Chain A
């Protein structure tokens, strides 16, 4: 049996207290009126102008001739995109213009269409920054009205910033809550996969997995609570929950059959209830299996069937969960592989957490039956799933970048413009480093190496969720400051407390599992 060391408990509690204090500070420090925003911005330099600069830059870079130094001036940019095209084309083909003259006309006319499209989209991004919350989320379907409103946009800009800053502590809380919840959900999926696949190597790790999934219920309730609070209009994380915005937004109006608060909460309750119920049954059976007769596989078979059922339920609900809880933050945008993308993130974070906690427990002498081969296998999963995540990240990005359809591409323009470092930094933490560090078979057996890579990976996937949530909620006002770090601290403490308390509830080695002997002697 595992006993929770008082040191660990104290650390977890300190983390929670410090995090809670920081979060409360974050909520208090958030501005409440436009005047406060103006004051804050005055002390931080002219942020407003920067924002407009940004918008202009979108325009330039999206044009085919974008980076040509000669074309960088604003008047040209705005007045005649047609002439720019021809110019761009000429520069491109200058080397042998005679030969390509015939091509020239055809390609120029082709380009015209692209140029108009991209230009239009540039304008949209422009409006994004200028018009306040109503149009934040991209394609402006009733552009005429919005333009009329622009005359009085002086304060609107500040109101826009105000809303972002008010969202900041909420979004920080939401990102951290979802991140830790998704870890335990990922572990639950992994646990079910191990049962359904009848894996022979992993039963010695089952108790660690069961303990991590203990966070599923409390963590899920916290996320649910945050969704309820959003539904009660206490924050503006989900703009489609705001009737004023929906009233002027035809795109969201057409989605209200799916995106309405009661149905949204019912769905969330179904996902959470289902996952927690499966988790409860499987852990209960696993405990009963410990005391079963030698050849009694009743509970094992039951768990096998439950695992298969869970995986079917999970893949449907997980996909819908990612539309609901993350994609609907940008209600104008959609992507078909989004559910998989979120799944990859939660799966790899879950596996990494299993590895880190197992190595920790092993180093404390609690898991003597876990050998380097088990760690090696977990590290292989971390390696493979990191590549899987990158594959989905890139597939989503590249398909949208390549076709460059305005209504889709605003999503990435916003992220590249405002979130350049986290957006591309993720590739280093979630792909390059894990791939290079975990490629060598020997390194996968070096425990501290796996821990370090695992921490990098977890950090990277926190950033992943951050970049999924923040642009839609706080836009360009993002910063990883006190609210974000506090939320992370708070949930780290809570997660550690719940998981390690759960570890004390049952022996760390399952018995009577038909694969346990094989697992104990597993050798790779």
Chain B
């Protein structure tokens, strides 16, 4: 297992995602002799996991079962231990496309935070790209570095514990893309500019507040960035379900054979069960979530032109 390479069988030391049911998952590290408790009972790593195929169904001690999944950056994003607020897949997807990331890209990122975006970047730039990520919080930087090693992507990333607004990214003239998720991105634009390759590249800054965006755009303009563009993406998850609508009763009709023919929705009409005096129609539809994420952050993109 690695976050940048699929494998078929679970091995000791792997991170696997235990899928417990609708929207309920947990990540575990596989160690022979270890046990993990779930609400369906215990999973014994040596017998239940090691040597099994990713995607198989595992029966727990109480007779319940779970699926064991191969880790991906997307599964990691919804399972990782939060050390900060994180970026979610919808934003990550757009950042990846709009920064032109692909295998071989060299990327600078700050802050590392909980590593949600970092894993997605590493997946995309492998096997020959590199991520330089800067985190000013020592403990978070250390934790992230440890995770990258555990996830077998350590060779693709350098974690630096410094303040990007003061000290920059620790590299100059190497980046194809720069990503900023810090409280005052405008203070880091100058350093971002230096990090880019001579031929330039793409920059993205993520900010929750419009005032931050305003200052960032001004700074980008001052530093000669082009194609400055701010956008926001929201994802809606549609809940698929069958809904039953009761048909109104207009009372008995007189000589109503003609009208009945035209108005009869034959294929979907369901014989009334609960209340014999009403008939109903069932249809498959989706309902919007009662509540959804209405705002994560504004994404500001820009192109650093060739020097």
**Are A and B subunits of one complex?**
no
Q: A residues touching B (Cβ–Cβ < 8 Å)?
A: none
